[in-house]
Structure 1
């Protein structure tokens, strides 16, 4: 049975075949609502089951869902739950915990070790998971990309991209890159330090998301897992009851 995984984020759309309890080879498109043309959507695979996670805008989600429903016998949408695959979410109202963060934790939990998961996309999300699968909570902040865009929107003379990281920059673009990347790194490093104090052991650090590679040189202890959400979606899928029909 052909089963596929689809991760529709705020800025990228990824999909991959379901292979066991993991994602296979991943294809990724950058998108805005205007970029998801009919031709592009019609190039998507077909099969028996489409497993979908989406944090994108409702209109874009609806457009993709309509196409998938025409190409798959079943379309099943991931939702955050209080507990799944040994992971227990800290939120009193789990439905308020983003499904991308939830799936990231499902993938990270497979190692059975304490971990800090940092997603670097439109937002910077940081979550702590202990070795027993208990989510200890997390943080949400603007990602470096979003910081740059917000600054440019308020002061157009500040470039929205470009520049290189330096501890003390002597150029505006470099200073912006250094400040915004440095802010994200500082928050991640503080989260790691606090996680160590809470757990009395050093957690692993996993980065994912399109902005992750830019931070890796500043976080040498981190492991980058670009398909973390899709791997979590795969793990969620294999723990779902078989649909009847």
Structure 2
């Protein structure tokens, strides 16, 4: 089957062309850009018409509806499905009290982890920071949500009248100017979130914990951690593909 998978996050829209369960190629569009719908339309127009489109969306509903409209304009009558979180799927069972309110991205990444039959901590680093623990039996214990590093920085700039961003900052042990202090504070706070999540998950398993990082900031975060971690790309796409198996 030829299909298109859409991962519509808080900042970016990623789409993947899939043939018989294999991702052939993937693309990304920043939907904060004013011309993002035209960029998306041009990209989709270069693809063969898929048999179906499946969408995992956590973006604002206005953005989601705009993306769906663009898809339907390119391919009128296309079979289009919006995926939502479920209590049970594949090897995954959820302990979350309100599974329908669980972000579909977190649900899909937990689904991938459950298939490994290993204790797994999944840390997402993007607009939001997320941590989700899935044990070796496939039980999703739940997780945490916090602001991502860019969101932290933006919050300080919005609320602190005398803090200004005049140039790019960089991460230092102890920063010597405002921009570096903001960048360092946000990223060290992110690393602290990850390290605390790892310790909390380790306390609930037999010592064979695997830690996955994903999202736009995953590589930077990995460089700040002393614990062994694995960078995972396209986890949401992997989860969407598992729903068919």
TM-score of the alignment, normalized to the shorter chain, above 0.5 = yes
Q: CA 1:186/1:121 → structure 2, altered by over 3 Å: closer, same or farther?
A: same
| Residue 197 (1) aligns with residue 203 (2) | yes
> Which position in structure 2 is the counterpart of 1:183?
189
Q: CA deviation at 1:161?
A: 7.3
Q: CA deviation at 1:112?
A: 2.1
What is the rounded CA distance, in whole Å, between the counterparts of 1:136 and 1:40 in structure 2? Answer: 36
Runs of 5+ in structure 1 lacking a partner?
240-245
> Which position in structure 1 is the counterpart of 2:41?
41
> Which position in structure 1 is the counterpart of 2:90?
85
> Which position in structure 1 is the counterpart of 2:239?
232
Q: CA 1:77/1:140 → structure 2, altered by over 3 Å: closer, same or farther?
A: same
Matched position secondary structure for 1:116: strand
CA displacement, residues 64-91 of structure 1 (integer Å, 9 cap, x when unaligned):
1123234263111111000101111121
Cα contact 1:16–1:24 (8 A) shared by 2: yes
Matched position secondary structure for 1:51: strand
Q: CA deviation at 1:92?
A: 1.9
Q: CA 1:130/1:14 → structure 2, altered by over 3 Å: closer, same or farther?
A: same
| Residue 166 (1) aligns with residue 184 (2) | no
| Residue 4 (1) aligns with residue 4 (2) | yes
CA displacement, residues 116-162 of structure 1 (integer Å, 9 cap, x when unaligned):
10111111010001111101110000011100011111235332873
Q: CA 1:162/1:178 → structure 2, altered by over 3 Å: closer, same or farther?
A: same
| Residue 50 (1) aligns with residue 53 (2) | yes
> Which position in structure 1 is the counterpart of 2:137?
132
> How many aligned residue pairs are there?
238
1:144 to 143, 149, 161: 149
Q: CA 1:42/1:168 → structure 2, altered by over 3 Å: closer, same or farther?
A: closer
Q: CA deviation at 1:6?
A: 0.7
Cα contact 2:2–2:20 (8 A) shared by 1: no
Q: TM-score, normalised by structure 2?
A: 0.89
Runs of 5+ in structure 2 lacking a partner?
none
Provide the alpha-carbon RMSD of the alignment.
Answer: 2.0
CA displacement, residues 164-223 of structure 1 (integer Å, 9 cap, x when unaligned):
222222222222222111111111111111111111324111111112122121125121
Q: CA deviation at 1:107?
A: 2.1
What is the rounded CA distance, in whole Å, between the counterparts of 2:57 and 2:184 in structure 1? Answer: 31
